[in-house]
Amino acid sequence: MISCTEFIPAYSELFKFLEAQGGREAVEAFWEHLSDRFLGNLRSAVEQNGLRGCWMYWSHTLNEEAADFTMELDEEAGQFRIVMHRCPSMARLLQFTHIEPYYDYCRHCDVLYRRVLEPLGYQYTIDLSECRQARCALTISHSPR
């Protein structure tokens, strides 16, 4: 059994494998598939609770992933934000000396969540400029009702 604590390197190596099969398009296609098949819980949380659904979803995942983060929800302003001080996934990949992270690893977070949230009427922005230092920030917003 591959432990869930070993999933991140398995995921990174899967992206490399897919790229070897069919180029970047093959990796993108998988990310879209994963978003459609695996993020139903985020989709339904946001459909039912609006921006608070983002808070609920990431409260669960980021705590289980032992992330170092600040998360903010301002429903009046219509904004949800995560500042990732140290991403548990990239930090883990950077710790290993015997494996190299997939070069575009962090962009899956852009593709996966954007694909759920934009069709629901939210703006999704993610700053990955420091992702190789395991830092990023994402903002999800919509106009207040």
Q: Which chain residues interact with another protein by CB under 8 A?
A: 1-11, 13-14, 17-18, 21, 30, 33-34, 37-38, 55, 59, 61-77, 86, 88, 91, 98-99
Helix (H) or strand (E) holding 116: helix 107-117
Give the C-alpha distances (Å, rounded to integers) separating 117 from 26, 40, 45, 57, 95: 22, 11, 11, 13, 31
Q: How far is the CB of 72 from another protein (least distance, A)?
A: 5
Specify the residue, 14 or 120, whose C-beta has the smaller distance to another protein. Answer: 14
Going by the DSSP 8-state scheme, the letter that residue 51 receives in this structure is H
Distance, in Å, from the CA atom of 111 to the CA atom of 52, rounded to the nearest integer, reads 21
Distance, in Å, from the CA atom of 81 to the CA atom of 128, rounded to the nearest integer, reads 14
Q: How far is the CB of 30 from another protein (least distance, A)?
A: 6
Largest CA distance in the chain: 51
Q: How far is the CB of 128 from another protein (least distance, A)?
A: 20
Specify the residue, 70 or 133, whose C-beta has the smaller distance to another protein. Answer: 70
Specify the residue, 11 or 124, whose C-beta has the smaller distance to another protein. Answer: 11
Q: How far is the CB of 97 from another protein (least distance, A)?
A: 9
